[in-house]
């Protein structure tokens, strides 16, 4: 009998397990594949490891404008993958050690909720059965593979890949067709373009990078077009197979030849096969319905991370796991989705938090938009010869409150934390102006932008 059984050891699950362990809850964590989940094993961390190698290589190739000559620079993709594997191993062993340190019991296998039992809920892992007074479901998400003609067969044959397989490729394809110009599509397009693969991105919408600010989306597209990525927008894929992707645009069919295809058109929550129906957990469009304390409709059952379909980001998952455990142990807490930062780790990085011009206008908020080129920062200029980054700040007209920040620049993914804190703390322009930013830094542009 456990106080808490957690299904899934990704960012939501392992972070919640640590919290629960330190709070003294007798906790069981069940993981079917590897601790760390998608993020650590086949998502965030592996991709960032690859992208860092690509960035170094690209800097070496273009170092002359900084007066540095690096003849003979080359990239060894197999070595990059080997380093990625080592990095992942270091981190996953770290989580295993942390589970031990927090006295969390870890069982490997597929968990299935069997039903209610005296004192809680019964969960099976293979032949074993466990009872938990409370359940926290953190089973994550998987790549969406829609019923496009030939796509599922292409995945089975290894011609089409999801995030999982592409991060394990040991040989570089000559031609890669990326279906979906969202976060995964762009990060992978960025890596493979940097290492010399011919990349075509086929995107259904007429823009890339989904909800990203439109100016940043357009700029990112121009930057990557100049680097050689071929974007086909407003293009609906109709079939995949035999070394090609066929899409339809304006009533015409167009064929893109490829050695490999990446399917990155979104993810779906892993709610099937875990026995939710046995205790009556409510789902909506395939994701578990949760409130702001991560409670499901069943008292004692919580869900955090991608499985609730709210934000599908590792950092949201961490926080949701924490909120769930706090709620269980009686610490007042609630999830606030108004300041969740998002980063696309292209080169340059695109990062944003809060409202964009479009989302604010859609909500009917009266706003003031401030836009500055990143060249306002001396450090940015020093380090980004010919860089085209921008910073966009959204303020409410009434009260001059900071509602959103979007940036395209390196290292926007790091800087955005400052904006996240300011928005979370409901800063007004005057409050931002009083913050002392170190000089010279790229982050200073945020302060400049609100004037």
The residue ranges that bind ligand NAI (CB under 6 A) are 179-185, 187, 202-205, 210, 236-237, 264-267, 312-313, 342-345
Which strands sit side by side in the sheet containing 367-373, from one edge to the other? 342-344, 350-354, 402-408, 390-396, 367-373
Spatial distance between the Cα atoms of 229 and 76, rounded to a whole number of angstroms:
21
CA-closest candidate to residue 231, choices 214, 249, 244, 213: 249
> Six-digit token pair at 306?
């991608």
| Residue 374 DSSP one-character state | G
DSSP 255-271: EEE-SEEEE-S-EEE--
We find the least distance from the C-beta atom of residue 142 to ligand NAI, in angstroms, to be: 10
**DSSP H or E segment with residue 237:** strand 236-241
Nearer to ligand NAI, 10 or 181 (CB): 181
Nearer to ligand NAI, 166 or 432 (CB): 166
Backbone angles phi, psi at 71, to 5 degrees: -55, 145
Nearer to ligand NAI, 111 or 412 (CB): 412
CA-closest candidate to residue 306, choices 321, 323, 293: 321
Q: Minimal CB distance to ligand NAI: which residue?
A: 182
We find the least distance from the C-beta atom of residue 245 to ligand NAI, in angstroms, to be: 9
Spatial distance between the Cα atoms of 170 and 54, rounded to a whole number of angstroms:
15
We find the least distance from the C-beta atom of residue 188 to ligand NAI, in angstroms, to be: 9
Backbone angles phi, psi at 26, to 5 degrees: -75, 105
We find the least distance from the C-beta atom of residue 22 to ligand NAI, in angstroms, to be: 27
130 is catalytic: no
Q: Which residue out of 62, 102, 315, 439 is catalytically annotated?
A: 439
Nearer to ligand NAI, 215 or 431 (CB): 215
238 burial level (CB within 10 Å; 0-12, 13-18, 19+): middle
Nearer to ligand NAI, 151 or 391 (CB): 151
Nearer to ligand NAI, 210 or 275 (CB): 210
We find the least distance from the C-beta atom of residue 236 to ligand NAI, in angstroms, to be: 6
CA-closest candidate to residue 32, choices 62, 7, 65: 7
Q: Is 196 helix (H, G, I), strand (E, B) or coil?
A: coil
We find the least distance from the C-beta atom of residue 7 to ligand NAI, in angstroms, to be: 20
Catalytic residues: 439
């Amino acid at each position: 009998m456990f106080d808490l059984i957690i299904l899934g050891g990704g960012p939501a699950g392992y972070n919640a397990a640590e919290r629960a362990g330190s709070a003294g809850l007798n906790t069981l964590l069940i993981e079917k594949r590897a601790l760390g989940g998608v993020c650590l094993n086949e998502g965030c961390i592996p991709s960032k490891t690859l992208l860092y190698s690509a960035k170094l290589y690209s800097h070496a190739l273009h170092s002359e404008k900084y007066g540095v000559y690096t003849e003979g620079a080359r990239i060894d993709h197999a070595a990059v993958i080997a380093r990625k594997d080592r990095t992942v191993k270091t981190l996953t062993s770290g989580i295993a050690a942390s589970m031990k340190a927090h006295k969390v019991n870890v069982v490997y296998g597929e968990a299935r909720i069997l039903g209610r039992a005296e004192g809680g809920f019964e969960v099976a892992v293979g032949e074993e059965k466990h009872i938990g007074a409370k359940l926290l479901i953190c089973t994550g998400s998987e790549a969406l593979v829609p019923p496009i003609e030939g796509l599922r067969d292409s995945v089975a044959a290894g011609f089409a890949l999801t995030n999982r397989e592409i991060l394990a490729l040991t040989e570089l394809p000559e031609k890669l067709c990326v279906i979906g110009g969202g976060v995964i599509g762009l990060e992978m397009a960025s890596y493979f373009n940097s290492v010399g693969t011919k990349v075509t991105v086929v995107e259904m919408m007429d823009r890339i990078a989904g909800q990203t600010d439109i100016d940043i989306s357009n700029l990112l597209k121009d930057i990557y077009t100049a680097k050689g990525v071929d974007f086909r927008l407003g293009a609906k894929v109709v079939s995949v197979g035999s070394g090609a992707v066929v899409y339809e645009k304006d009533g015409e069919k167009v064929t893109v030849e490829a050695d490999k295809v990446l399917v990155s058109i979104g993810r779906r929550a892993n709610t099937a096969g875990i026995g939710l129906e046995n205790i009556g957990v409510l789902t909506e469009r395939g994701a578990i319905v949760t409130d702001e304390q991560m409670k499901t409709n069943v008292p004692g059952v919580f869900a955090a991370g991608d499985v609730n379909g709210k934000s599908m980001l590792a950092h949201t998952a961490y926080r949701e796991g924490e909120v769930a455990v706090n709620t269980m142990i009686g610490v007042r807490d609630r999830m606030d989705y108004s300041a969740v930062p998002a980063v696309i780790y292209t080169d340059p990085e695109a990062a944003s938090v809060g409202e964009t011009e479009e989302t604010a206008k859609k909500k009917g908020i009266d706003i003031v938009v401030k836009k500055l080129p990143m060249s306002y920062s001396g450090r940015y200029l020093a380090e980004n010869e010919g860089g085209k980054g921008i910073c966009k700040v959204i303020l409410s007209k009434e009260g001059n409150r900071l509602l959103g920040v979007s940036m395209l620049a390196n290292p926007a993914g790091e800087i955005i934390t400052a904006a996240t804190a300011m928005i979370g703390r409901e800063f007004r322009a005057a409050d931002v102006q009083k913050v002392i930013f170190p000089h010279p830094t790229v982050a200073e542009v945020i302060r400049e932008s609100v004037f």
